[in-house]
A and B are shown apart, each in its own frame.
Chain A
Amino acid sequence: MILEENNMSKTLLDKIWDGHVVYSKPGYPDVLYIDAHFIHEVTSPQAFDGLRERNIPVFRIKQTHATADHNVPTLNQHLPIREELSRRQVEMLTKNCKDFGIELYGLGHPFNGIVHIIGPELGITLPGMTIVCGDSHTSTHGAFGTIAFGIGTSQVEQVLATQCTLQYKPKRMKIEINGKLRKGVVSKDIILYIISQISSSGATGYFVEYAGESIRNLSMEARMTICNMSIEMGARGGLIAPDETTFNYIKGREFAPKGNDWDEALAYWKTLYSDKDAVFDKVLQFDAADIEPMITYGTNPGMGMGITKRIPSLSEVEGHDRKSFRKALDYMALEDGISLLGKPIDYVFIGSCTNSRIEDLRMVASFVKGKKKADNVQVWIVPGSKQVEKQAREEGIQAIFEAAGFQLRGPGCSACLGMNEDKIPAGKYCVSTSNRNFEGRQGPNARTFLTSPLTAAAAAITGKITDVREYL
């Protein structure tokens, strides 16, 4: 029996999952061991209180990594946080980390930044790991071939207390993308396209493995953008088998294994792929050539389309979905059946854990170099981390932005969710590289169009929704 099991082909998810099950019992969820636990100020305070009430310590301090990101201001980060509740939450994180002995990359620390940016950047995120965080975009780390997913605060408490979480194994889905990407199309467009095809709940209950030639050809940072948005189609997480691109990215990073440890780790990482005849519960295939630069028009990430397409007309939407469709367009103050090209916009936000890495900034800089932003738009560029900010300065990217009239701010979540001062005002349109266009996400009554950094850069220059390919 055991022999037979060992001979069975496994998906990447199964390989990692099975290696992390501490205990299982029929009908009960698996006790899954967690290698790395990231925490931030918003979803952790109540968890620490729980530990205090039970009078228990954090079980594995060294596997717990903390940063302040959601609430932090992106201007004048050296000053005390002005907003009282935000300040209190960040102070609470500092106190909790101190009391429980956890290292914190707080505001101003050279390693500070958005939780999903700093994990990979510091070499904490490694193939084959299990990673959790009280944050749904934990799926980002899956780009390294890890099982990474978001959890709620009660589960944060469980992981702090025991380094384990109770989970039923999700179903496995494979999404394969083959073919060559067309001009002006980048990884954000791939994921917006997939979500537009399968809807914002199309992968609920599944863990997605992204595969195929188009994925293999992407850089690590581009892969992270894809995995990041897995949750926007309802998936528990997304992952990509590690390869040379992955190993090269990790090598030499701050906390990455070194010397002998590296060799050992590498040998293990090379075993992390779905076996040839492994069975998935569902397989979807897409052709990269079908993908245009994408934009969303509605209030969930599934409401997206190629930038030259028209918003569906009301009559094309199925009866049952018509009500929510209508509601979304009312919120966005858009008519059905129209094209968005040429629509004037007010803000451009380039940032968030989806698109605020150095490659994103480079992509934007190379497009705007020598150009100026349109007068009717405000452009905020919010790097994902202190290190990205520093690199942008050193590479001369900041200078390009300043010449274009863009503002490069300090790192943080910023206008992705408007918990700090960076909010899009009511009724204004924002072209955003973030991941959610929900009602009020960027501020009460703010209206969001999700795009790639490249399409956002084009909108910043023209002041309206633009097909970036016309300028390439």
Chain B
Amino acid sequence: MKTFQKIISTIVPLPIENVDTDQIIPARFLKATTREGFGKNLFRDWRYEHDDENKPKKDFVLNNPLFKGEILAAEKNFGCGSSREHAAWALADYGFRVVVSSFFADIFRNNALNNFILPVTVSESFLGQVFDEVQRNPKTEIEVDLPKQTIKILSTGASEQFEINLYKKECLINGYDDIDYLLNLKDKIEEYEGTR
């Protein structure tokens, strides 16, 4: 069972705004009928020249051996566009467990949470510090503590609180699924149907 408590990891910086889910996973890779294997096509068109895996684009961060980790940091409005949950699957399959941004699109946020990826919304200035630190030292580590709802840059000690709703927090910490919650309410659902 997947759960989420606290992680400490280096960061992959993606200082781009409005990263839409078509970039995270282009439509032509949505044809799989399982949840696995999307990681290799994560950011496919930013990652490879002419759609060719033998031609990685050198300046794209996933191809830069300096930057690794379970935390992706991106500029505002991350995950806008298509509702494809494949975007969350691709991030998870690649190995990301946290995405840090100053602003998330609604549907993506939900999809991420349903796949035990934690979207952490921080202030613009904190995000700026994260990018600066990781530029200065790619080994910079970040601690994300879900029970305490804090994110901290370990080298500088700078930290911030982040928001998450109580329900989702419990789900992540305990490994619960929305569907379990809903299935337990079946009687209430049928009762509701009876009143209409």
A residues bordering B, Cβ < 8 Å? 22-23, 27-29, 31, 33, 42-43, 45-46, 49-50, 54, 56, 59, 70-71, 85-86, 88-89, 92, 134-136, 150-155, 157-158, 161-164, 166, 168, 170, 200-201, 204-205, 231, 234, 236, 300, 321, 323-324, 327, 417-419, 436, 438-441, 444-445
**Docked complex Cα distance between A327 and B86 (Å):** 25
B71-91, CB under 8 A of A: which get 1 and which 0? 000011100111111101000
**Docked complex Cα distance between A234 and B20 (Å):** 11
Smallest beta-carbon distance B173→chain A, Å: 14
Contact indicator A324/B17 (Cβ below 8 Å): yes
Residues of B in contact, count (CB < 8 Å): 53
B41: Cβ under 8 A from any A Cβ: no
Given contacts A200-B18, A205-B106, 17 further A-B contacts (CB under 8 A): A27-B167, A42-B31, A49-B34, A54-B179, A88-B31, A89-B33, A151-B110, A154-B178, A201-B105, A236-B106, A300-B20, A417-B82, A419-B27, A419-B28, A438-B23, A440-B45, A441-B22
**Docked complex Cα distance between A158 and B178 (Å):** 7
B138: Cβ under 8 A from any A Cβ: no
Contacts of A45 in B (CB 8 A): 33-34
Residue of A nearest to B26 (CB): A440
Residue in A89, A154, A324, A440 whose beta carbon sits within 8 Å of that of B22 in the complex: A440
Contacts of A438 in B (CB 8 A): 20, 22-23, 81
Contact indicator B105/A418 (Cβ below 8 Å): no
Residue in A28, A42, A85, A439 whose beta carbon sits within 8 Å of that of B167 in the complex: A28
Contact indicator A71/B85 (Cβ below 8 Å): no
**Docked complex Cα distance between A376 and B13 (Å):** 42
B residues bordering A, Cβ < 8 Å? 15-18, 20, 22-23, 26-28, 30-35, 45, 50-51, 75-77, 80-86, 88, 103, 105-107, 110-111, 114-115, 165-167, 177-179, 181-183, 185-186, 188-189, 192-193
- Once A157-B179, A440-B22 are accepted as A-B contacts, the answer to whether A46 and B82 lie under 8 Å apart by CB is no
Smallest beta-carbon distance A25→chain B, Å: 9
Which residue, of B15, B82, B105, has the highest number of chain A Cβ atoms within 10 A? B82
Residue in B34, B75, B105, B189 whose beta carbon sits within 8 Å of that of A22 in the complex: B189
Contact indicator B33/A43 (Cβ below 8 Å): no
Contact indicator A418/B28 (Cβ below 8 Å): yes
7 A-B pairs with C-beta separation under 8 A: A46-B33, A164-B182, A234-B105, A321-B17, A324-B18, A327-B16, A417-B22
Contacts of B107 in A (CB 8 A): 136, 150-152
Contact indicator B20/A152 (Cβ below 8 Å): no
**Docked complex Cα distance between A436 and B178 (Å):** 30
Contacts of A152 in B (CB 8 A): 83-85, 88, 107, 110-111, 114
Contact indicator B31/A204 (Cβ below 8 Å): no
Contacts of A71 in B (CB 8 A): 31
Contact indicator B27/A46 (Cβ below 8 Å): no
Contact indicator A444/B114 (Cβ below 8 Å): no
Contact indicator A31/B188 (Cβ below 8 Å): yes
**Docked complex Cα distance between A45 and B36 (Å):** 13
Contacts of B50 in A (CB 8 A): 444
Contact indicator B85/A43 (Cβ below 8 Å): yes
**Docked complex Cα distance between A74 and B105 (Å):** 32
Contact indicator B167/A234 (Cβ below 8 Å): no
Contacts of A31 in B (CB 8 A): 182, 185, 188-189
Contacts of B15 in A (CB 8 A): 323
Contacts of A22 in B (CB 8 A): 185, 188-189, 192
Residue in A49, A85, A439, A444 whose beta carbon sits within 8 Å of that of B51 in the complex: A444
Contact indicator A444/B45 (Cβ below 8 Å): yes
Contact indicator A444/B33 (Cβ below 8 Å): no
Smallest beta-carbon distance A223→chain B, Å: 22
- Once A29-B167, A31-B182, A162-B183 are accepted as A-B contacts, the answer to whether A439 and B45 lie under 8 Å apart by CB is yes
Contacts of A151 in B (CB 8 A): 83, 107, 110
**Docked complex Cα distance between A59 and B177 (Å):** 18
Contact indicator B179/A436 (Cβ below 8 Å): no
**Docked complex Cα distance between A224 and B31 (Å):** 28
**Docked complex Cα distance between A23 and B82 (Å):** 29
Contacts of B189 in A (CB 8 A): 22, 31, 33, 59, 162-164
Contacts of B183 in A (CB 8 A): 56, 161-162
Residue in A33, A46, A162, A200 whose beta carbon sits within 8 Å of that of B34 in the complex: A46
Contact indicator B34/A441 (Cβ below 8 Å): no
Smallest beta-carbon distance B44→chain A, Å: 9
Contacts of B35 in A (CB 8 A): 46
Smallest beta-carbon distance A98→chain B, Å: 15
Contacts of A154 in B (CB 8 A): 85, 111, 114-115, 177-179
The 3 closest A-B pairs by CB, nearest first: A152-B85, A85-B31, A152-B111
Contacts of A153 in B (CB 8 A): 85-86, 111
**Docked complex Cα distance between A73 and B81 (Å):** 23
Contact indicator B111/A418 (Cβ below 8 Å): no
Residue in A85, A166, A201, A441 whose beta carbon sits within 8 Å of that of B103 in the complex: A201
Smallest beta-carbon distance A253→chain B, Å: 22
Contacts of A300 in B (CB 8 A): 18, 20, 80
- Once A150-B107, A155-B178, A204-B106 are accepted as A-B contacts, the answer to whether A234 and B80 lie under 8 Å apart by CB is yes
Smallest beta-carbon distance A445→chain B, Å: 8
**Docked complex Cα distance between A440 and B41 (Å):** 14
